[in-house]
Amino acid sequence: MKHLKLTLFLCSFILVATISCKKENSNRPVDTGLSEPRPGTNISIDSLSNFSSDIPGDQYNDLTFINDSTGYAVSLQGRIVKTSNAGKNWVQLNSPTTLPLQAVQFIDEKTGFIIGGDNHSGIFLKTMDGGETWIKQVLNTTESPMDLCFLDGSIGYIAGSNLLIKTEDGGLSWHSMKNSTVRIYCGIKFKNFNEGIATSLNGIYLKTTDGGNTWDSIKSITNYHLYQIAYTTYKIFIRADGLLVDISSNNQESIIQLPYVGRRMLFLNEYQAVGIGQHYNQQGYFPYGDIFITNDTWAHFEKKTYSPSDAFVFTAIAKMSAKKIMILGNGFNITKMIILNI
């Protein structure tokens, strides 16, 4: 279990962009871009509000919405929950596993995918009926996968420790795309059906322009471990340890300092983003949940901190609509839900 926790820590801070594999209110196979921020429409920390919900108490590792009402979340205890009324009420779906679930993605109202596992095995789940039933597949790995990216109902990718695989038949079969010099893959995202990036450790990332048939191994400007990817209209960001690297420039000016300590991040465009995570008090005993907001690519940011009894960590974030974001966290014996109106 210690080995699993270490690997999960290395790949835990997830950047999520609306151009990536998370489909936000669209049935298109691949999103085409992010609009630039409109003048005078800064996001404000004052727009955060508590939201009352009956979501079961758990640590939710990922969250996704397919429209402004219907969303899914997956948890550390293998729980899959669904809302059909914008988060007010949640139904616990029949899950075929009690293993920790790491990521969830839906490409339309019926078809969805989940990955998870522990330090013994990895699993892949698929539904074709909106979560009523799930098909379970054991992956050929001894650790939990870290990230997934489906471009449509057939073509998808999964990344993890010693794992970089692709399916062209909706998960019925997979083939390996591993690079012989790379062992741990932390993230996988595609801009379109051809262009994609897989991140790894020690400043290395892989880039493909032919749908994963071939990959170029590239050294970034930093030696820090690289995690998840965010595509915006003009830039490609990768999060490193405490840094954000714009690999479309890949020079010293492309390195951006990030607030301490974030866990996940949602980019709305290349300037505006919301980060979530936690920090500990000076004595290192008590964790406090944090939400960060920037309107200028982290040159400046606002932060709101929550007490441990309210939320000692925030772990999941998703865009519900063009005007609303949901954030999930953990307090003592509760799941905390926050809504951000954009």
| CATH code for position 33 | 2.130.10.10
β-pair partners for 264: 14, 276
What is the pTM assigned to this prediction? 0.89
Residue type at 3 in one-letter notation? H
Compute the mean pLDDT over every residue in the chain, rounded to the nearest whole number: 88
pLDDT at 22: 54
pLDDT in tens, 103-148: 999 999 999 999 999 999 999 999 999 999 999 999 988 889 999 9
Q: Tokens 């098909």 correspond to what residue? A: 135
The SS3 call for residue 279 is: strand
pLDDT of residue 144: 92
Which residue pairs, CB below 8 angstroms and at least 24 apart, start in 158-162? 158/115, 158/124, 158/188, 159/185, 159/186, 159/187, 159/188, 159/198, 159/199, 160/115, 160/122, 160/184, 160/185, 161/7, 161/185
pLDDT level of residue 260 (50, 70, 90 thresholds): confident
Task: Please tell me the predicted confidence (pLDDT) of residue 19.
Answer: 38
Task: Please tell me the distance from the alpha carbon of residue 180 to that of residue 164, in angstroms, as a whole number.
Answer: 11
SS3 3: helix
Task: Give the total number of structural domains in the chain.
Answer: 1
Query: Quick one: pLDDT band at residue 251, thresholds 50, 70, 90?
Result: confident
Which domain covers residue 121, as residue numbers?
2-341
What whole-number percentage of the chain has pLDDT above 90?
74
Is the pLDDT at 36 greater than 60? The verdict is no
pLDDT at 164 over 60: yes
Q: What angle do CA 11, 9, 91 make, to 5 degrees?
A: 80
- Residue 267: pLDDT over 60: yes
